[in-house]
Amino acid sequence: MRKYRFSFIAGLLLVAFAFAIAFTSLVFTPYDPEAMDIHNRFQGPSSAHLLGTDHFGRDILSRIMSGSLVALSGALLSVMIGSLAGIVLGIVSALSPKWIGSLLQRVIDALMAFPTILIALVLVAITGKGLLPSALAVALAMVPVFSRLVYTMMLETKEKLYVKAAMSYGCGWLRMVIFHMIPPMASRLVTQFTSSIGSAILLESSLSFLGLGIQPPSSSLGMMLSEARSYVLTYPYQALPSGIVLLMIVLGFNLLGDGISDVFAGRRRIRHV
């Protein structure tokens, strides 16, 4: 039981840290994240620049702080859109006539079997580069997993006795879905939502790394790494700070999702006893 609590607490701490640096960047960063200082480029860590400076002499710490805000808000937005669309799609395919439902799920299966980066690239090719298009591409990649989850859980709950009882009392379908079918799914959805944020940040930063996400001079963690890539052989340090922070944020959400699912599982076990 102790190790479960460990992943929950470690995840919570990392996520709290991510939100802390991201929101601090709104009111305070050590330097202007976009201010260049050509004389002091490629500096290592020092008391003036805690994490050093990049190829334009911009303060890396300040850029990481504002980049985390971009990563977090972009990922939250994408997962919210994607999960909402997925949940609606899952409910619709579970409640509609069987052949429509299974056809919809076939399409979802096909989407799921497809490389996410390929889908995102095609979408960015259609809409153009930028923060919003890449967030939409990530959202689209999040739809299948939610829809599949809701669909299978809905098929299970539909057969439950209390649902049939509510139906025989004349409960409307909207009321049925909102009050009888969604609550038992909530724990699984919260877990999925949390770990999806981790994968959304990964995908978004991959798109930024390819130069398809948010455009310069704004900073995002993926873009910082893409810039560091050009100097990776001469100034290897450039690739370290933003990569480590990115890893910490993604790890935080994954651990938190895992921890939450363990907490819910533990509670269920206790209730059954």
Q: CA of 28: how far to CAs of 17, 20, 42, 63, in Å?
A: 15, 11, 23, 12
Among 30, 45, 130, 243, binds other proteins (CB under 8 A): 243
Which range, of 47-55, 57-65, 121-129, 151-159, touches other proteins by CB under 8 A? Answer: 121-129
Q: Is position 250 an interface residue for other proteins (rule: CB under 8 A)?
A: yes
Dihedral sign (CA 171, 177, 178, 180): positive
Q: Is position 236 an interface residue for other proteins (rule: CB under 8 A)?
A: yes
- 116: helix, strand or coil: helix
Which range, of 78-86, 90-98, 171-179, 227-235, touches other proteins by CB under 8 A? Answer: 227-235
Q: Is position 5 an interface residue for other proteins (rule: CB under 8 A)?
A: no
Q: Is position 36 an interface residue for other proteins (rule: CB under 8 A)?
A: no
Q: What is the per-residue binding string for other proteins in 174-213, x denoting contact by CB under 8 A? A: ------------------------x---x--xx--xx---
Strand partners, 273: none
In the bound state with other proteins, the residue whose beta carbon lies nearer, of 69 and 224, is: 224
Strand partners, 53: 59
Kindly state the tokens that stand for 142: 């999040």
Least distance (Å) from other proteins to the CB of residue 76?
18
Number of neighbouring beta carbons within 10 Å of residue 24: 14
Q: Is position 255 an interface residue for other proteins (rule: CB under 8 A)?
A: yes
- Residue 134 has φ and ψ, to the nearest 5°, of -70, -35
Q: CA of 52: how far to CAs of 20, 47, 170, 221, in Å?
A: 21, 9, 67, 15
The residue among 91, 136, 88, 141 whose CA lies nearest residue 117 is 141
Which range, of 49-57, 125-133, 151-159, 185-193, touches other proteins by CB under 8 A? Answer: 125-133
| Amino acid, single-letter form, for residue 242 | S
- Chain positions contacting other proteins, by CB under 8 A: 3, 7, 106-107, 109-110, 113-118, 121-126, 128, 198, 202, 205-206, 209-210, 222, 225, 228-229, 232-233, 236, 239, 243, 246-247, 250-251, 254-255, 258
